[in-house]
Amino acid sequence: MSPREQLGGAAPAKRDHRQEVTDSIVKMLEDGVAPWQKPWESAGMPFNPTTDKSYGSVAKSWLYDASAFFGLD
Domain residue spans of the chain: 39-73
pLDDT tens-digit series, residues 18-71: 999 999 889 888 988 776 776 666 667 778 888 988 888 888 888 888 888 888
d(CA 8, CA 41): 55
User: Sorting pLDDT into bands at 50, 70 and 90, what band is 5?
Assistant: low
Q: What is the pLDDT of residue 47?
A: 80
**What is the CB-side half-sphere exposure of residue 66 using CA atoms within 13 A?**
7
Instruction: Name the more confident of 54 and 9.
Output: 54
